[in-house]
Chain A
Amino acid sequence: MSRRRSALLAVGVAAVAAGVVLTLRPGLVSFDWATLVTLGVWAAALVGVALAAVERFDGGGAPAGGLPRSGERPDYGVPGDDLAAAVADAGAGERDAADRDRVRERLRAGAADAFERFDGATPGDAERRLDEGSWTDDSDAAALFAEGDDESLHEGVDPDFDRRAERAAAAVARLGDGSGSRTATTRDSDVPQQGVADD
């Protein structure tokens, strides 16, 4: 226990003891209440000053406000954390609908691209299956892009947005995991072509 906490504890115990004594023996102190309040305020002020002085001259305390971070690397984000933060910041109410739409757009674009790239779907197919919700077995993930059909929602309100967004992100990632990553150095001839011209 620090010296400051010890001093505060002593002050507290003394105050409680005084209170108990004065309760059991009213009139023990002959001063009127105004004098007592005055003395109490001054005593508290003096104790505060004393504690502050002790703290200043103690020198062993942890550095606090005013100093910058020092000896630490900047906080670099991890790819994907920006999306997580955007989801967390987007509320469920109507006023946050635009924020949710931005998140939904990014997830949908990722889902469509992944569907085309890893599942071989055409762009039209991908969009249709996203609209239908048939692109994944996860009903929560599917509902993120087909919420217009969900009659249980009030217009502009989406209380399950966080969960749906996370499930959709996971479902898109599963599309990518399923095909593995391309590993070797590859040229255009190694991937499905879409009008790549020779030199």
Chain B
Amino acid sequence: MTESALGTGLDRGEQRLERTGRWAGVHGLALAATAAAILVGKPVAILAGLAGVGFAAYSRVMEAPEPELSVERHVSDTDPAPGERVRVTLTVENESGATLPDLRFADDVPAGLAVVEGTARHTTALRPGKRASIAYEFEAVRGRHEFDSLTVVTRDLSGASRRVAREATERSTVVCRPTYEDRTAPLGDLATQLTGGQPVSATGDGIAFHSLREYRTGDPLGSVDWNRFAKEGELATRRFDQPRTVKVVVLVDARAAAYVTAGDGHPAVDTCVHAAGALVGGLADADCHVGLAALSPRDCWVPPASGRTHRERLLDTLTTHDAFGWRPPSEGGDDPSDEDGFDRLLTRLSGDAQVVVCSPVVDDRPVEVARALDARGHDVTVASPDVTAADSAYRRFAATERRIRLDECRRSGVPVVEWADADGRGPGRSGGTTAAATGGHNGDVATDGGADRWR
């Protein structure tokens, strides 16, 4: 079922008959008129009451006709670039053999697509074999958008009843793939034990010295800096540059709470998806194994891996997966105790994976998630586009709440990136934000700790 199906509450191919209640009072009027006529003893006045009786009977007997329509839809471009206009022409033909005195129809335009010219709705009366057409244009946005139905409403002549139907039509799919940037976020200290292409600092053997850190039980004796111990009496462990594999899961906040906007009509989830796409490209270029997950009742999980095909899979998932659609998820998922799928994520997340949380942080949940992941030993970074506004006291208050939450993350040791898109969406509104690093360079990765004082 496409997202557009939700307007009427009907599934594709379903219909229902409704009473409009338009003539609800006519029974009373008919009775009152008849009673008055009897009271004054004028037989001719009873005829006035009969008029009401006629209407009441008609509204009870007649039912809205069942539409039998053939529908043709033509979409001018099924692979548009973001922002391009796409023209849709829809033609409806009455095949029922009877006149439809009141026919209203609306194309089920997928959520996220905004009609910018023309209208996707029409009202007409249609004789047998006659056709009615509408044409409209929408602006393409990220996602896979499926046109597969038409909402039709028919009424009888009196308007006493109406039939609402979701007519199934041939499927037309429009896929709009944005071009994601390649950017990285600062990563933490965690890496796998696998040799990889990412130079990181780790204890053990090595040639290029990286840094010192405090000694921990279990560190190999060969890594201890004995000179330092002799001078200062303090045990320190040397770390060397080693090629390791870094595993990163990009977690996109796609809960209903994240479907907010700064007023430009784009939900924060869309901005987070673009941020995640940029991170996928940047981290993959930096030889990280990249995975993807959604913090949402709608399950989305792509385990970390590398390679061009995997990268394309990640970007395709970001572009087309339901979890990142334009309509907010309904409250609760399959598991009422795990409303946003976080518990499910924890069972999938390997212990050596870092997590970059892409979230607008408009409520406390992302902070809780970041802290919980941090507490389980994952290195966590928060990448947050600013979707707050400043045109009312309450909106400025919400912006202040967000800044406080981000500050809580920093106080917990979770790095925060205030995310700014290249087109300026999402970011910068709080003033003077700095975007994440660009160019696919992963600048600061360490595998086993490294407080600044030891470097």
Residue of B nearest to A35 (CB): B44
Is B406 within 8 A of A81, CB to CB? no
Residue of A nearest to B265 (CB): A73
Is B106 within 8 A of A70, CB to CB? yes
Residue of A nearest to B381 (CB): A185
Return chain A residues, CB-CB under 8 Å to B122: 63
Question: With A and B bound together, what is the CA distance between A185 and B374 in angstroms?
Answer: 18
Question: With A and B bound together, what is the CA distance between A131 and B18 in angstroms?
Answer: 57
Known: A68-B106, A76-B265, A187-B410. A114 touches B393 (CB 8 A): no
Question: With A and B bound together, what is the CA distance between A72 and B45 in angstroms?
Answer: 52
Residue of A nearest to B109 (CB): A71
A193 at the B interface (CB under 8 A): yes
Return chain A residues, CB-CB under 8 Å to B436: 185
Return chain B residues, CB-CB under 8 Å to A175: 400
Is B394 within 8 A of A166, CB to CB? yes
Within 8 A of B (CB), among A80-133: 80-81, 83-84, 87, 107, 110, 113-114, 117
Our pick among B55, B104, B189, B450 for the contact of A67 (Cβ within 8 Å) is B104
B227 at the A interface (CB under 8 A): no
Is B42 within 8 A of A34, CB to CB? yes
Our pick among A74, A80, A177, A181 for the contact of B111 (Cβ within 8 Å) is A74
B27 at the A interface (CB under 8 A): no
Known: A78-B262, A173-B396, A186-B410. A61 touches B123 (CB 8 A): yes
Is A189 within 8 A of B452, CB to CB? yes
Return chain B residues, CB-CB under 8 Å to A59: 123-125
Known: A83-B397, A84-B394, A176-B400. A199 touches B451 (CB 8 A): yes
From residue B356, how far is it (CB to closest CB) to chain A in Å? 12
Return chain B residues, CB-CB under 8 Å to A144: none
Known: A79-B260, A181-B430. A71 touches B120 (CB 8 A): yes
Which stretch from B153-161, B279-287, B314-322, B341-349 is at the chain A interface?
B153-161
A22 at the B interface (CB under 8 A): no
From residue B343, how far is it (CB to closest CB) to chain A in Å? 26
From residue A34, how far is it (CB to closest CB) to chain B in Å? 4
Other A-B pairs beyond A41-B33, A176-B404, 12, CB < 8 Å: A34-B42, A34-B45, A42-B47, A42-B48, A63-B106, A67-B105, A67-B151, A71-B121, A79-B362, A169-B393, A170-B396, A185-B416
Is A196 within 8 A of B389, CB to CB? no
Within 8 A of B (CB), among A50-77: 52-53, 56-59, 61-74, 76-77
Query: What per-residue 1/0 map shows which CB atoms of B181-216 lie under 8 Å from chain A?
Result: 000011001000000000000000000000001100
From residue B318, how far is it (CB to closest CB) to chain A in Å? 19
Known: A83-B397, A183-B432. A63 touches B114 (CB 8 A): no
Residue of A nearest to B119 (CB): A71
Known: A57-B101, A187-B415. A81 touches B431 (CB 8 A): no
Is B44 within 8 A of A38, CB to CB? yes
Return chain A residues, CB-CB under 8 Å to B104: 63-64, 66-67
Residue of B nearest to A198 (CB): B451
Query: What per-residue 1/0 map shows which CB atoms of B39-58 lie under 8 Å from chain A?
Result: 01010110110010011000
Our pick among A78, A107, A172, A180 for the contact of B263 (Cβ within 8 Å) is A78
Known: A67-B153, A79-B260, A183-B434. A34 touches B44 (CB 8 A): yes
Return chain B residues, CB-CB under 8 Å to A79: 260, 360, 362, 387-389, 395, 398-399, 402
Ranked nearest first, the 5 interchain pairs of A and B with the lowest CB-CB distance are: A68-B7, A71-B115, A80-B398, A173-B396, A176-B400
B108 at the A interface (CB under 8 A): yes
Query: What per-residue 1/0 map shows which CB atoms of B1-42 lie under 8 Å from chain A?
Result: 000100110000000001010000000000001000100101
From residue A198, how far is it (CB to closest CB) to chain B in Å? 4
Query: What per-residue 1/0 map shows which CB atoms of B405-425 lie under 8 Å from chain A?
Result: 011001111011110000000
Known: A84-B394, A173-B399. A71 touches B417 (CB 8 A): no
